[in-house]
Amino acid sequence: MNENVKEKILNGPKNGMVMMCITMCAYAAAIALLVVTAIGLDGAAVLITGATSAGFNQFLFILSCVYVALGWIPFLGLKVLKPGEALVLTLFGKYIGTLKEDGFYYVNPFCIAFNPAADTKLGQSGDIADKKMIAGVKISGADMELSGSSSKKISLKVMTLSNSKQKVNDLLGNPVEVAVAVMWRVTDTAKAVFAVDNYKEYLSLQSDTAVRNVVKLYPYDITENVDTTGDGKADDGSLRGSTEVVAQRIKDEIQAKVLDAGIEIVDARITYLAYAPEIAAAMLQRQQAAAVVDARKLIVDGAVGMVELALERLNEKDLVELDEERKAAMVSNLLVVLCGNHDAQPVVNSGSLY
């Protein structure tokens, strides 16, 4: 960016209403003078102009014609700003300042509002204007503004950019799909329109790049002996378990890239995270197998504890004396009953245990 181009806030008087009234009155007077001089009412011309010269009357006719033909130009200087909007003005290619405060302004009618991203539609908040039907034709609210430059206004509100899902390989090389919502706003209008070609597309591209750069530093799930912080020590960081940390790193990386474009990143949030479809089924089976193993381990630990408790209680009550072989058989039967997936079927033995 050219260092000489810095944001200049125009804090001039909000005299748009006064100038509009003066311009309309002058235009109406020019039309009336044109009518009077055109029909050649000399008496009326004398009363109005105070002169009887036909040449002077002809001069007034030409002057009124010129003003009627060009009198619409002063109306171009009327600018209306609502809260949270800004207008970057240039005069013959030179940046003259930015209007940021809401109100009804009058500026040099030859000033042009400049916004290279005015027609860029990324499907984000603030990009889709309300439409109105007039004679069967959709007319956007931007086209109906008095100043005719509504589409060139820059929104200063916090907007949300939600790019489409993208496929990225995580730290272990597994393809995952991730989508991020970025809350942002324009803080320096001069940088936004002059430092980059299109600040909306620039932000969208940098957001995708930051997501790809950060996601590849983390595994999808917690993995042993993996360093995600860069301190040389293994940690338990992961995309699924460290969502807040990952989102903060994405926000910081985007902010570093768009700082020179006059954009502030307010927040970033992961809105979608999943394995890619081609490996989703296999990873689901892996997760299910791990869950089954963990469940079985818990069941076995509980069963062993219950068997141990049963043997201790039998010994305490002296209900029955069991040798090692009978204890082994009892333990085996209890474990089968406690660890089985189905209810045990009781067998009544009316004789000896042997």
Q: How many CA atoms within 13 Å lie on the side-chain side of 151?
A: 15
Name the residue ranges covered by the structural domains of the chain. Answer: 16-154, 159-275, 281-339
Distance, CA of 317 to CA of 299 (rounded, Å): 27
Q: What is the pLDDT of residue 212?
A: 92
Q: What is the pLDDT of residue 148?
A: 41
Match 């995600």 to its residue by tokens. 228
Distance, CA of 235 to CA of 227 (rounded, Å): 6
Distance, CA of 41 to CA of 50 (rounded, Å): 13
Six token digits for residue 335: 């474990």
> How many residues would you count in the chain?
354
Among candidates 129, 127, 159, 161, which has minimal Cα distance to 145?
Answer: 129
Mean pLDDT of successive 10-residue stretches along the chain, which has 354 residues: 72 84 88 79 48 66 84 88 91 91 90 88 62 41 41 88 87 88 93 92 92 90 77 79 90 93 93 81 70 78 80 74 73 73 64 55
Among candidates 155, 182, 163, which has minimal Cα distance to 268?
Answer: 182
Q: Does pTM surpass 0.85?
A: no
Six token digits for residue 300: 């076995």
Q: How far apart are the first and last CA of the chain?
A: 95
As assigned by CATH, the class of the 159-275 domain is: alpha beta
- Note the maximum CA span of the chain: 146
Among candidates 69, 71, 70, 49, which has minimal Cα distance to 58?
Answer: 49
Q: What is the pLDDT of residue 263?
A: 94
Six token digits for residue 223: 């993995």
Cα-based distances in Å from 71 to 36, 38, 62, 107, 227: 18, 18, 14, 16, 71
Decide if 216 contacts 168 (C-beta within 8 A).
yes
| 160 φ, ψ (degrees, to nearest 5) | -115, 125
H helix runs in the chain, sequence order? 16-38, 42-49, 54-70, 189-194, 199-215, 243-258, 277-317, 324-339
